[in-house]
Structure 1
């Protein structure tokens, strides 16, 4: 076994140790939600999945709600006792809940993912779901509590949801903890690539230069038939590039190459991978040229468990994304996220940031064309820009956050940091921005026994102090609490059907 295989297997072993547990305290249930929260004449409903963990609840009237985002929810979110959220729940006696986002995971309003169905996949519909959930749980679980106290937790997109919900519903929540919350919608998010380059140069400048030369060689290979044939062999393509080449196929391939580096650096020093220098040692070992990119590619596939041949056909990719079924469809979450990107959020990770170590490999046109190809020609650049402008107008972005009791935490190495609230501190409203030096995307949410950074200790102390303050300021009497609920083991959560 070579050095690369040994290192990667060690990473995977660490990951499997973290995720192999079963979480007996976590219960799964469903709540009936309206398909259209804003049309009183539309009585249609769907079942939204949520999970609960009452292991540490001590009749405090305190609840931690972890918001689901662009993927289905899992028990580990509120079941892993090494999760920072669970550690806080144990200290403060909080009930824990995790609510799945509509159109992701098992929370499907319709039997398909058609454009007609996606009319109801919006940020505002999701925020209304959260409100309905809290109101419902106040009635059926906290019925004896004068004023239940909810703290929201969200990461990345769901972090933005947590911030926006707190801003709009301060009567229902006492605080929001926003991890890498991407509150600044942006059509052309070339800062992602710029930030990737910054991290590489900051952590390992020779590695960054090696990647630049390797990417230059890779892109040059796409210009000739012999070069494309070589790429087909090196990158284990299911079929070689067609000749003459289709430009979309080349862009699709290069976009996937860029996503490999994005995936590694996004999680470096955090939940999935060690630091960037460790990553560089993995890919540069005993090779050069395009072999470095291939090393990154195959290690990425193994770590992220997607070891199959690569189909370079953009048309086949579109066919996968155009599948409107969702049962056993691995592309369902990606399709739903693409819809949100094309209609409200943007966040297309291009290389339009000028001179870059990754070259000018991925254009905005590639993503805009994908919006039109997957959904409809009406979802063109103007439509995408209008949607993003409306999101910023509605929620304000990072320059106009009006909420209170909110903590925005971001890693200094997070490629998404340019969309986060890095300078939102306003002590008069108890709003704080905290940057974890050396941290990446959602590093603060990682299990506390997972590749810890020294700066995380400072943040966790800070977070604990602020949560204690938020709880103290919101203290309410719970004398009317029904004594029959005093036994934690007898607590049940009623669904909407009960």
Structure 2
């Protein structure tokens, strides 16, 4: 297999050989007496021949300087996009000394947790609104824009945002080894939140007497609901946007909703992808077909069809494109939508067949890059335990130990084939974190999470469970009212966390109505 890098090994070897030749001549690499002992000449000649051979091989060795495109697990980590704002007036960045392990009194280790605060619009006697960050770095723009900000201005609320442990700049341990990641879970994160709130209430008496409402989206939407569930004495209400509160290892419903979204906005889109998938499967059945795939997809090296996960990796490119469009779908009252745009681009792509059009739509006709579907190489990227801005390793840990959420193709009601199976994901856990992280352990973590928090039926009050009707994650959300103060708010035609952003003139009526309902609930909780 090509390395994808310039052939730089030879320049590293040749100086060594040159030094060895010089050493056999009895001199230094530069200068010295050029007359060798006669008994060394035979070995010298052999080394010279070897050196010449290496030079010839280096000159003839193939190089591949193209950028290598590999399947990633980034499509499982689609972070909440912060609002775009022009001003961050009055926002302060602060650090909170947090306990490493809230459940082991003998562990006295602490670390610094990032948070933002703003009293720019606070009025004495007003409430406190806290935005919970989830599986991403915190962004202070939530204290300067978005619907929580709008409500804060309306009610004169003090605002906070707390970053989640192990994400962004909140780094409790020296690295992200499995031994340290054991401190990364939702229960520790919730205790972080409670400790933070209690400390702020104690240090600021005017805030201690105030009503506190937490907001969160996606995984942080779970945390918002669970925070109200576990700490009703210090949290008066929660807006849980697009929270997949039901943990589930095998999650084929995700792609079913993606398919529904595609069908809603372009009736021909699903059949176009299904036709391309069928053609792909047919080509895999012959050597000539595999050669056609190698060329069509611009593979860095020939596809080995015996490697099931490598073949599945090619499927993931199409899945990632359309699931991303569905999850971040934006629908306006003038009728445009992100999914519709993607579908139009697919159907208008160049090509003589459905598969060729799909490949060109996905950018596989780019001569400056090549596709490497190697499963192990893709996983290897996440083996690094060094801190970096890429926090996929941390989120994958939470899927392996608590939530699953693996978006498989184990449903006939989607057009992407059937190669993204549950083992494709669960095998990753053992590779990244150790052999003990088996598929059975994933299921155990899922079971424990649902027992702890109640799945779709948490025993909780004062929580707004908000979901977009075409958000792929809503399939794991609360879709029926828990009680009068904890309603399920389903926004038709909307997708992930759309209610968390500020109103726009382009909003469809269903989104406007949902925000009005959220505003009514928040007003009740803080009255």
Question: TM-score band (shorter)?
Answer: 0.7 to 0.9
1:62 positional shift: 1.3
User: Which of 254, 265, 279 is 2:315 aligned to?
Assistant: 254
Residue of structure 1 equivalent to 2:184:
121
Given the superposition, is the C-alpha separation of residues 104 and 227 from structure 1 closer, same or farther in structure 2, using an over 3 Å criterion? Answer: farther
SS of residue matched to 2:92:
strand
User: Which of 104, 109, 120 is 1:44 aligned to?
Assistant: 109
Structure 1 residues 43-442: aligned runs within 5 Å: 43-80=108-145, 83-140=146-203, 142-145=204-207, 147-237=209-299, 239-243=300-304, 246-269=307-330, 274-287=337-350, 288-298=353-363, 310-328=371-389, 330=390, 333-398=391-456, 400-427=457-484, 430-442=485-497
1:27 positional shift: 2.1
Q: Conserved in 2, the CA contact under 8 Å of 1:412 and 1:436?
A: yes
Structure 2's unaligned 5+ residue stretches are 1-80
1:147 positional shift: 1.8
SS of residue matched to 1:434:
strand
Does 1:459 pair with 2:514? yes
Structure 1's unaligned 5+ residue stretches are 1-15, 473-498
Q: Conserved in 1, the CA contact under 8 Å of 2:331 and 2:493?
A: no
Aligned residues: 441
SS of residue matched to 1:19:
coil
1:60 positional shift: 2.7
Residue of structure 2 equivalent to 1:28:
93
Distance 1:151 1:91 in 2: 14
Distance 1:18 1:230 in 2: 44
Given the superposition, is the C-alpha separation of residues 416 and 25 from structure 1 closer, same or farther in structure 2, using an over 3 Å criterion? Answer: same
Q: Conserved in 2, the CA contact under 8 Å of 1:269 and 1:451?
A: no
Q: TM-score, normalised by structure 2?
A: 0.78
Distance 1:109 1:241 in 2: 43
Distance 1:296 1:42 in 2: 53
1:310 positional shift: 4.2
1:395 positional shift: 0.6
SS of residue matched to 2:472:
coil
1:224 positional shift: 4.4
Given the superposition, is the C-alpha separation of residues 21 and 250 from structure 1 closer, same or farther in structure 2, using an over 3 Å criterion? Answer: farther
1:434 positional shift: 0.7
Distance 2:487 2:85 in 1: 35
Distance 2:285 2:385 in 1: 35
When Rg is computed on C-alpha atoms for both structures, the one with the higher figure is 2
Q: Conserved in 1, the CA contact under 8 Å of 2:83 and 2:141?
A: no
Given the superposition, is the C-alpha separation of residues 90 and 298 from structure 1 closer, same or farther in structure 2, using an over 3 Å criterion? Answer: farther
Q: TM-score, normalised by structure 1?
A: 0.83
Q: Conserved in 2, the CA contact under 8 Å of 1:270 and 1:441?
A: no
Distance 1:18 1:466 in 2: 23
Deviations 1:335-365 (A, max 9, x none): 1111100111010000111353111121001
1:196 positional shift: 1.2
Q: Conserved in 1, the CA contact under 8 Å of 2:113 and 2:171?
A: yes
Q: Conserved in 2, the CA contact under 8 Å of 1:255 and 1:361?
A: no
Q: Conserved in 2, the CA contact under 8 Å of 1:269 and 1:438?
A: no
Q: Conserved in 2, the CA contact under 8 Å of 1:222 and 1:250?
A: no
Q: Conserved in 2, the CA contact under 8 Å of 1:61 and 1:147?
A: no
Deviations 1:131-172 (A, max 9, x none): 0111111122x2234522211111111101111110111111
SS of residue matched to 2:487:
strand
1:22 positional shift: 5.1
Q: Conserved in 1, the CA contact under 8 Å of 2:318 and 2:416?
A: no
Given the superposition, is the C-alpha separation of residues 65 and 360 from structure 1 closer, same or farther in structure 2, using an over 3 Å criterion? Answer: same
Given the superposition, is the C-alpha separation of residues 44 and 154 from structure 1 closer, same or farther in structure 2, using an over 3 Å criterion? Answer: same
SS of residue matched to 2:124:
coil
Distance 2:252 2:480 in 1: 20
User: Which of 9, 15, 19 is 2:84 aligned to?
Assistant: 19
